Structure 1
Amino acid sequence: MRRTITGHGSVSFAEFSSYTKVISRVFGAFLHSLFQPPIAALTHGNVLAVVEFALLLGIALVVIVIEIF
């Protein structure tokens, strides 16, 4: 029987620790790929970082225009 975190069996500390290490690596890689300079993201083909930069730039421009008028 394979034990999972949400299953009925108990999970040992080593299994839980390995799950959290994998999750933290995946989340860290996601954040690292998200917060890249826009030119580097374009050259590496990281579309998510480019879209995130465009959204933040658009929000900043809207806030600036609202403050001016």
Structure 2
Amino acid sequence: MHTRPADPGATPHILQVGQDRRGRWMVQENHGLIEGVFISRDAALHFARLERHAFPGATVELVSAPLTSTLAA
């Protein structure tokens, strides 16, 4: 998992939950402020919902397009 301080002037935050091309479940914040890889869809959704507190007004969205890790290949 990777986190960086939020930019207060940024557009609304979205915590995207989906799979990468290898089938791993991921959570990514749309500004690149957070990313994590999880063992299941439920674990990823649970993490995303818990992390909403760090991003006021953030939404959690389940995405169908493959996510691409910015941290690992």
TM-score normalised according to structure 2 size: 0.24
The structure with the largest strand share of the pair is: 2
Structure with the larger RCO, 1 or 2 (CA within 8 Å, 6+ apart): 2
The structure with the largest helix share of the pair is: 1
